[in-house]
Structure 1
Amino acid sequence: MSDLALVFSTFNPTPSLIETVRGVAPQHPIVVVDDGGGDPHDVFPRLLDEGARVLRRPTNDGIAAALNAAIAVAFEDGAAAVVTFDQDSTPSPDTLRVLHATWKQASSAGQRVSGVVPAQFAEVRQTRSDDALPVARRVIQSGMLIPREAFDSVGGFDEALFIDLVDTDYELRSMTLGYRIIAAPTRIDHELGRPAPLRPFSPLPPTISTMVSTPFRYYYRMRNRLILTRRYLRTAPLRMVTDLAIDLAYFALVAASARPRRLMAAVLFRGAVDGCLGRGGRAPAKTQVAAARISWSVAK
């Protein structure tokens, strides 16, 4: 599998990344990209000692830009495919072997494959099919194998989205171009946000347990959901309407559970406006300041 390179996107990484890289470095070229963060734990010099190539970006331009830069380096160095990872994913050599074998199997079967993902990502199933080469749906980029040929044809991650749903956009763009993303019979461990027992009507019950993200992420999630809905409504209407409805219900829960509610409402509203207008890039500074003041109403 020497034709397979691994790409890790990072932002203020912890020392656990060193152990992750050490476990896979002997078998694969590794590119680690810093998305304009810092190095509070002196991780990057130690990654260099492990044989990784480290790219330090001067500004935080979002995960899409960071991944595109690292993937370009990996392909320039001769990789035929890359597997992308977030810094808190923990791939095993066996997972990489299965992803690579599934890619080769699908290619030999004549399928146009733009990605291969683990069938199980943490607690999330990425396929509902029992086929030998099942199509994945609603994929997550961490743990995704991307062939060079497909990346050149489909294009990189959309840097205007900055963060959130960049993997969904890649999946939907692949579909419109006749490619498939396949689920491989393996899993990857990953920390998906944090579970929280939200109390939207505090101090009254009920308590609703769900995953929550850092408050500023909801600007991007709202904005990018609307951008993708507009972009793919004609080619995937049922999925776009379904996903939008699910997200809007979730955003309502988030808004009701945030404190102060008016600030989360403002964050979501700004995301909705920018999404309808098709504006990309970093969240406005005022929105970032408002999001930093938000906390969650949770059960004690």
Structure 2
Amino acid sequence: MSNEVGAIIVTFNPDISGLKRNINAIYKQVDRVVIVDNGSNNLDSIKELLQTLRINIDIIDLGKNLGIAAAQNRAISSLDDLGFSWVVTLDQDSEMADESIQKLKVTSQYGDKDTGILAAQYNDSKWTEEQRKNKLDERYDKVVQKKMVIASGNLVNIKAWKAVQGYDEWMFIDQVDFDFNAKLLLAGYKIWQVNNVVMDHAVGDVIQKPMLSRVLLFPKKAIFSDHSAFREYYIQRNTIIYSKRYPEFRRHKYQVIVSMIQSRRILVYSEPRIKKLISAWKGIIDGVKYRPEDDTNFMEFRQSLNNRRTKNEN
């Protein structure tokens, strides 16, 4: 069998039964599966699961939590070394339906050298029907162009990944996917969402408190995905960093103000809310301090794009 499509699953203290469903859902659809572990305290249980399943799966043990970006880069690099052309990126709590990869591969975009990502839609079982209707594109016969897709459920062109220098490991976790999306678009690649591929996926712990959310003036369709204080820092910091790096794609002109206002959603979350709020505001402050022109790696990427454009023009 030729190496064409591999899959990576990034793990960090995973629920073993959920990881088992993830593996069983994907391993028959691809040519190879790589698990890259970010310092899980239940790594032995992960290894025992793989022995029980008796499936030939590679595991890369990073030894500590280096973040989603570093984990994805390490795993994709290993598949690139083996000659793979495409890779499916999955979180530990994602589950691809049968024939999902085949549905992605039969699209005309799969054969287009300018395609950077073919993405699945995702559905969270904890959403209300109104939230689900707002999130899912029900034009299931369509393949639509996107500017932003979450990292899980992506079929990534490895040539495109190399062309934009992979995922930004300094960002660590949140907005890593959107940062990667922006780099692909700036480099001339396209991102497509294949609507008839819908993945089961959880983004944080969805909380439903309709009365409190209405008091806080959130719309009924708003989704509250609870995260740790650690995550809240990166969510807020990296959202502002993204808006500063990519004015071409930013969602809000005054992202700092928007982030400050939106941080009230933490009042809907579980305890310790004060700790989460403090972490969020620390992230906002560090985001305000960030200057793209002082970011050497990012400026090198921007310069590489300028050099490429100059070369093409000549």
Give the AA of the match of 2:283: G
Give the AA of the match of 2:262: Y
Matches within 5 A, 1:57-76: 57-76=62-81
SS in 1 for 2:120: strand
Pair 1:41–1:245, CA change in 2 (3 A): farther
2:243 to 225, 229, 249: 229
1:135 paired with 2:140, answer no
Asked if the contact 1:200/1:207 (under 8 Å) is kept, the reply is: no
Asked if the contact 2:37/2:71 (under 8 Å) is kept, the reply is: yes
* Deviation for aligned residue 1:177: 1.4
The normalised TM-score by structure 2 is 0.75
Pair 1:242–1:252, CA change in 2 (3 A): same
User: Number of matched residues?
Assistant: 274
Query: Take 2:256 and 2:241, find their aligned partners in 1: how far apart are those partners?
Result: 11
SS in 2 for 1:50: coil
Structure with greater helix share of residues: 2
Pair 1:53–1:71, CA change in 2 (3 A): same
SS in 2 for 1:216: helix
Corresponding residue number in structure 1 for 2:303: none
Query: Take 1:95 and 1:245, find their aligned partners in 2: how far apart are those partners?
Result: 40
Corresponding residue number in structure 2 for 1:7: 8
1:252 paired with 2:254, answer no
Asked if the contact 1:117/1:144 (under 8 Å) is kept, the reply is: yes
* Deviation for aligned residue 1:265: 3.5
Corresponding residue number in structure 1 for 2:227: 213
Query: Take 1:137 and 1:30, find their aligned partners in 2: how far apart are those partners?
Result: 27
Query: Take 1:85 and 1:264, find their aligned partners in 2: how far apart are those partners?
Result: 27
Q: Name structure 2 gaps, 5 residues minimum.
A: 125-131, 292-314
SS in 2 for 1:93: coil
Deviation per residue, 1:137-169 (Å, 9 max, x gap)? 431110001011111112211111111111110
* Deviation for aligned residue 1:128: 9.0
Give the AA of the match of 1:224: N
Asked if the contact 1:118/1:187 (under 8 Å) is kept, the reply is: yes
Query: Take 2:226 and 2:119, find their aligned partners in 1: how far apart are those partners?
Result: 24
Asked if the contact 1:127/1:135 (under 8 Å) is kept, the reply is: no
* Deviation for aligned residue 1:247: 4.5
The normalised TM-score by structure 1 is 0.79
2:98 to 57, 75, 93: 93
Asked if the contact 1:200/1:253 (under 8 Å) is kept, the reply is: no
SS in 2 for 1:42: helix
Asked if the contact 1:12/1:38 (under 8 Å) is kept, the reply is: yes
Deviation per residue, 1:216-256 (Å, 9 max, x gap)? 211111100111111112x235x243876665443123157
* Deviation for aligned residue 1:2: 4.8
Pair 1:92–1:190, CA change in 2 (3 A): same
Asked if the contact 1:126/1:183 (under 8 Å) is kept, the reply is: no
Matches within 5 A, 1:20-35: 20-28=22-30, 29-35=32-38
Q: Name structure 1 gaps, 5 residues minimum.
A: 280-300
Give the AA of the match of 2:118: V
Asked if the contact 1:164/1:221 (under 8 Å) is kept, the reply is: yes
SS in 2 for 1:135: strand
Give the AA of the match of 1:37: S
Query: Take 2:91 and 2:278, find their aligned partners in 1: how far apart are those partners?
Result: 29
Deviation per residue, 1:176-231 (Å, 9 max, x gap)? 112111011311001222232449979x9679773322232111111001111111
2:192 to 182, 186, 190: 182
Q: Quick one: percent identity of the two aligned structures?
A: 26
* Deviation for aligned residue 1:56: 0.6
SS in 1 for 2:229: coil
Asked if the contact 1:198/1:257 (under 8 Å) is kept, the reply is: no
Corresponding residue number in structure 1 for 2:286: 274
Query: Take 2:152 and 2:28, find their aligned partners in 1: how far apart are those partners?
Result: 20
Query: Take 2:113 and 2:252, find their aligned partners in 1: how far apart are those partners?
Result: 25
Give the AA of the match of 1:254: I
Asked if the contact 1:2/1:27 (under 8 Å) is kept, the reply is: no
Asked if the contact 2:104/2:110 (under 8 Å) is kept, the reply is: no
Query: Take 2:156 and 2:96, find their aligned partners in 1: how far apart are those partners?
Result: 16
Name the Cα RMSD after superposition: 3.3
Asked if the contact 1:223/1:273 (under 8 Å) is kept, the reply is: yes
Deviation per residue, 1:114-150 (Å, 9 max, x gap)? 1110144444747698995411243111000101111
